[in-house]
A and B are shown apart, each in its own frame.
Chain A
Amino acid sequence: MAVRTIRGRSVVRGTAEGEALVSSVPISFLGDVDMETGEIIAAGHPLRGMSIAGKVLVYPEAKGSSGGCVVLMSLAKAGRAPAAIVLMKPADFNIVEGAIVCGIPLLCEPEEDLLRTLPSGTPVRIGDVGNL
């Protein structure tokens, strides 16, 4: 399958490639994601049982406690962090701070509605395209 390039506002610099994992609902790292494995564990979450490790994680917006950063750091230490994060809405301070320290590229407000047009499993690339 051809690699699709995702463009948007590059909030935390960096390039990444990986399979897309697209969530139609917001994700809170604290509570929704297992700190050791990267598996989505929240009851009722549409991606429950899937792992975010190494994926380009696409979801509508961040939610939940500032403790989410600590979970992201634990995942990064265990080599189970996402390869990149793509948020459909603008990012809040918290997720940006977490992404900077963990070295995870973060893209916001992509050019197209990825929640409709990008199936999970598609190989994608995040380019360091700067602020559009």
Chain B
Amino acid sequence: MKLTDGEKRMLDGAEGPALARALDYVVQLGDAFGAERLTDVSYVHYPAEMSIYRGSVEELVEYAASGAKVAVPTTSSTLACDLDQWPRTGCPAALAGLQGRAVAAHRALGVLGTYTCTPQFLGFAPPRGAHIVSVESSAIIYFNSVLGARTNRGGFLTRYSAVCGKYPLMGYLLDGNRGGTHLFRCRLGAEDLRSPTDWSALGFHAGKFAGSEVPVFEGLPRPTHIDLLALGAALATSGSVTLFHAPPWTAEAGSVEAAFGGRIPKETRDVARADLDAAYDALTTIAPGEPVDFVSLGCPHLTLDGIRGIAEWLRGRAARVAEGVRLWCNTNRMTRAAAAWEGAVAAIEAAGGLVVSDSCPVESHMRLSTCREHGLAAPNVGAMVADSAKMARYVGDLIGCRTALAPRERCLEAAITGRFRGR
């Protein structure tokens, strides 16, 4: 790889051992994939070390003690617990304590304590063409597709990119890798896509076929930003999709032809409402009428209007969450603070629900392996209803419970009746 004189000096240790090591890792990554040179990145979304992986926190604490600092604005992804409310969520004290050590190390490194999967809604919305490094598949696909910023699926080296401010020029940073591969001709009207959960079902369906390539959606009705968030999160669940185009609603392609850049799709499929129904069915193992004990809303994390909507729904019905049911509304601490200020958090809590920040069920102590390690009941949840295909898919395996995918209203009905009545 061709390095600039400044990069060569950094690699030789002129700016200290922490920077030299960080750059060496990033250069090795570029060499492994044949990148020609490095590029400066303007923003990093960092994989906050979760205390459910003990080794990773210890390694982080050691690293932070080396005196390394991030070189660019760096937000952090979700943790394994709510740092303030962990006792209310049933999180073991040992896990919360270990997580607190990670948070102190993040602060020492200069990482911002956002602890969210949706930094793009907290003011970190890089423009079209920006080179960034991000973890968290639902944020990665939103940055690439909706905003037109450029990132690969960041992994372990994200930390080192944050410290040296560099990433190899490769993968989705290059024009040639951003063209469409799979065409989905959507026979779907606004009546078929009535909620973000419907968009989530669409993404779950299409992701299976798109795999790790670039799907293009033709003929979708005008979406909201929450619809596109839901679509992307699900595409990156059933597939490992990093970028999609939905002309003319996404950043880079005004038309289907432009999205394919003159190339012929590898695969073309028609999509109808029946495909969405099949996605709902595939993620639903709770039969209509059966009891549920957990309702999870906010995957990805809820925005302020999402929390307000839940609060108003509960307040309008003077509803209470049924005995034995846990209702978690998952968000980040900045959004929770705003929702608390306007009274929405108090309304949800008065109804018996929780507004959980920093984390979510699937990242929490409720994972099967973590429950066993800490002597908690495993599985911790019997039957969970969620309004996101991503949540429904991962809790099935990681928490080991039965699941149902349903739009938010149906989820809230399940929370107050204690039963799933179907979608």
Contacts and interface: CB of A to CB of B under 8 A. Distances in A.
Contact of B153 (A11, A66, A67, A106): A66
Interface in B21-55: 25, 28-29, 32-33, 53-55
B33 A96 contact: yes
Given A100-B29, A101-B25, A93 B152 contact: yes
A66 B155 contact: yes
Interface in A1-49: 11-13, 35
A77 interface: yes
Interface of A: 11-13, 35, 66-67, 69-71, 73-74, 77-78, 91, 93-94, 96-98, 100-101, 106
Interface of B: 25, 28-29, 32-33, 53-56, 58-59, 135, 152-153, 155-157, 160, 171
Given A96-B33, A101-B25, A74 B55 contact: yes
Given A66-B153, A69-B156, A94-B155, A74 B29 contact: no
Nearest to B168: A93
A88 B300 CA distance: 35
Contacts of A94: 153, 155-156
21 contacts: A11-B32, A12-B32, A66-B153, A71-B53, A73-B55, A73-B156, A74-B54, A74-B55, A77-B55, A77-B59, A91-B32, A94-B155, A96-B29, A96-B32, A97-B156, A97-B157, A98-B155, A98-B156, A100-B32, A101-B25, A106-B32
A13 B53 CA distance: 27
A100 B28 contact: yes
B19 to A, nearest CB: 16
Given A35-B55, A66-B155, A74-B54, A100 B25 contact: yes
Given A96-B32, A97-B29, A97-B156, 7 more contacts: A35-B53, A66-B135, A67-B53, A93-B171, A100-B28, A100-B156, A101-B156
A66 B32 CA distance: 18
A100 B59 CA distance: 15
Contacts of B55: 35, 70, 73-74, 77-78
